């Protein structure tokens, strides 16, 4: 046998050395430091420990972590991983996570967040800085949480989530009653921040892998006239990218513009091939009672817009900015959309007519209080007709 032995080549020796070094490095890699978490103080300690011991595995040993006052759980670096028992939904009351640049929050178990709307911060439940990441591997629920603007020079955005990095929800996501509010009352003028449910910044990304439901999220400044909708994006405000992989339902959300969705010029919102989108009774006084789109909107499955309302503007269900784009692959229903001005269903510029859905159904859309017929087009109002006449318009279909 010794007579058949061959001398290893230089390449084989190098590959073997690299492999051995990799195995050695993996063997020396420190495991996450385990820490039991049963209360607010221990949760805070686990997050702070990421700056001193590296990655931390926080084992949730109590089903409820309720704090007397809002607890800001800041993860300065490395990774905080939260785990617990199978089949348990862990409840956090008045707990807010801040993920700093380069840090990671990973939640392995179902979680439910509750609280109030008194925090003067960005992101009532979650604030992810640029370069930070948050990943939820099971279901997430956020209920009755918001942020308060007390200074018009320092608006607070993201009633439940404020993201400048990367957020991924791998289980079902439910948000109810997320709000941006304002307790300013200066000459009866106040303004609440954008994105009552989720505020997503430029170059940031939010991914929903399972079903999404967002209900009764809104932007509410309190004035001497009472609570009135203000700012943009009742459920979601996005200058970045948002992707839906499964069905999404938006119900009774409200903002000044974009009661459900407000998409900025750099924003891209995609409902992918398995994601049916349903919008029910979303509203706002400005343009786009349901969606105000200045960026890119993609719908690869069916979509339904029902009773979207612009109570003092155009485009009861969708309003499109001059540089916006839309992609519709399957049938889109516009039913009962309302506006007080042009285009009860859709308001769009002539240059963007090519982006209208080819397979669309329009039923019972109407312009409110329009007895003199001044406002036009109960379905689609097109600004201009290509003639150059500044007063020209088209009614479609």
In the chain, what are the domain boundaries? 35-396
CA distances (Å), 365 to each of 102, 111, 306, in order? 48, 40, 9
Angle at 213 between CA 210 and CA 215, to 5 degrees: 165
Checking DSSP bridges between strand 241-244 and strand 268-271, what pairing results, if any?
A: parallel
pLDDT band, very low/low/confident/very high, at 28 (cuts 50, 70, 90): very low
Residue 236 has pLDDT above 80, yes or no: yes
**Distance between CA 53 and CA 32 in Å, rounded?**
8
**Dmax over Cα atoms in the chain, in whole Å?**
104
341: which residues sit within 8 A by CB, 6+ positions away? 310, 312, 313, 314, 367, 375
**The tokens of 90 are what?**
């862990």
Question: Residue 346: beta bridge partners?
Answer: 318, 380
Residue for token digits 């995609």? 270
Host H or E run for residue 49:
helix 40-49
Cβ(222)–Cβ(185) under 8 Å?
yes
- The Cα 9–Cα 274 span in angstroms is 52
Q: Dump pLDDT digits (tens) for 314-372.
A: 999 999 999 999 999 999 999 999 999 999 999 999 999 999 999 999 999 999 988 88
The mean pLDDT of 246-253, rounded to a whole number, is 98
Question: What is the average pLDDT across 299-319?
Answer: 97
Q: Is the pLDDT of residue 23 over 50?
A: no
Q: Is the pLDDT of residue 221 over 50?
A: yes
Does residue 174 register a pLDDT over 90?
yes
Cα separation, 339 vs 283, whole angstroms: 10
- pLDDT band at 256, cuts 50/70/90? very high
């Amino acid at each position: 046998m010794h007579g058949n032995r061959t001398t290893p080549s230089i390449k084989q020796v190098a590959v073997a050395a690299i492999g051995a070094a990799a195995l050695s490095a993996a063997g020396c890699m420190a495991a996450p430091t385990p820490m039991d978490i049963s209360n607010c103080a221990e949760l805070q300690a686990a997050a702070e420990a990421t700056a001193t011991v590296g990655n931390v595995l926080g084992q949730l040993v109590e089903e409820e972590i309720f704090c007397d006052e809002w607890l800001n759980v800041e993860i300065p670096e490395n990774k905080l991983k939260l785990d617990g028992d199978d089949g348990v939904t862990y409840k956090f009351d008045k707990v807010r996570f801040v993920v700093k640049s380069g840090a990671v929050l990973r939640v392995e178990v179902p979680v439910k967040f509750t609280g109030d709307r008194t925090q003067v911060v960005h992101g009532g439940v979650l604030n992810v800085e640029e370069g930070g990441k948050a990943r939820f591997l099971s279901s997430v629920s956020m209920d009755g949480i918001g942020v308060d603007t007390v200074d018009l020079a320092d608006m607070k955005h993201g009633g439940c989530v404020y993201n400048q990095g990367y957020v991924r929800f791998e289980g079902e996501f439910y948000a109810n009653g997320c709000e941006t509010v304002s307790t300013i009352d200066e000459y009866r003028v106040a303004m609440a921040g954008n994105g009552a449910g989720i505020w997503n910044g430029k170059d940031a990304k939010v991914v929903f892998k399972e079903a999404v439901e967002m209900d009764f999220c809104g932007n509410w400044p309190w004035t001497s006239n009472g609570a009135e909708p203000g700012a943009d994006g009742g459920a979601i405000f996005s200058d970045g990218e948002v992707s839906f992989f499964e069905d999404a339902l938006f119900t009774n959300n409200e903002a000044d513009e974009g009661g459900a969705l407000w998409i900025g010029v750099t924003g891209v919102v995609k409902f992918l091939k398995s994601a049916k989108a349903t919008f029910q009774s979303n509203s706002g006084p400005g343009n786009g009672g349901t969606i105000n789109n200045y960026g890119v909107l993609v719908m690869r499955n069916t979509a339904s817009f029902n009773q979207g309302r612009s109570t003092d503007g155009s485009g009861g269900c969708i309003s499109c900015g001059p540089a916006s784009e839309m992609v519709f692959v399957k049938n889109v229903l516009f039913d009962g959309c309302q506006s007080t001005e042009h285009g009860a269903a859709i308001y769009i510029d002539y240059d963007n007519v090519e982006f209208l859905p080819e397979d669309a159904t329009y039923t019972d859309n109407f312009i409110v209080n329009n007895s003199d017929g001044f406002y036009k087009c109960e379905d689609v109002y097109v600004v201009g007709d290509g003639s150059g006449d500044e007063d020209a318009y088209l009614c479609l279909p």
